Amino acid sequence: MKVMLRKNTLGHLVVYVAKKDLEEEVVKEETTETGKVYTLANGWELSIPTMEEPMKLPQTIEAKRIA
């Protein structure tokens, strides 16, 4: 699914999922060999492919929901 990553006014990473009209803050970030896994405030876990560092935000990317 396509998601948009951005920073909120407090500087926290936020994920917006347009198809679900869902905007949640990232509460946990894990690095894996294929990219990163972001845990959202609502409990969702999204797998994000490896991106260049530092991340340029806002950015729309393809993510996979794993939980």
pLDDT one-digit tens code per residue, 13-54: 999 999 999 999 999 999 999 899 999 999 999 999 988 888
The secondary structure of the chain in percent helix, strand, coil, rounded to multiples of 5, reads 5, 60, 35
**pLDDT band per the 50, 70, 90 thresholds, residue 2:** very high
* pTM of the entire predicted model: 0.88
- pLDDT surpasses 90 at 67: no
pLDDT per position as a tens digit, 52-63: 888 889 999 999
Sign of the dihedral defined by the CA atoms of residues 16, 20, 22, 27, in that order: negative
Q: Does an H or E element contain 8, and which?
A: none
Superfamily of domain covering 2-65: NifT/FixU-like (2.40.50.240)
Query: What residue segments make up the domains of the chain, in order of their start?
Result: 2-65
